[in-house]
Amino acid sequence: MAKTLLELDERLLEEARVLAKARTKREAVETALREFVRRRRLEGLAAAAGTSSMRWTATDVRSMREG
């Protein structure tokens, strides 16, 4: 794990901590980063929808995500 020094808006960080129900600032930041990455990946999947000859159902995608 990398240590990184960041200058963050304290009010925004506290709001994120509360909304994420995180106990620490670190937990809040990690939750926010995971959510950001998840949403961007989903946006990429949505943009690619219909561009493939493969036809997956929502159930297929869920199964692939769960491993």
Q: Which domain holds residue 29?
A: 8-47
In a domain? residue 3: no
Q: What pLDDT, on the 0 to 100 scale, is given for residue 3?
A: 92
In a domain? residue 18: yes
Q: Is the pTM of this model over 0.85?
A: no
In a domain? residue 36: yes
User: Contact 21/9 with Cβ under 8 angstroms?
Assistant: no
Q: Could you read off the pLDDT of 6-50 as tens digits, one per residue?
A: 999 999 999 999 999 999 999 999 999 999 999 998 888 777 776
| Residue 6 CB-half CA count within 13 A | 10
Q: What pLDDT, on the 0 to 100 scale, is given for residue 6?
A: 94
In a domain? residue 62: no
In a domain? residue 32: yes
In a domain? residue 13: yes
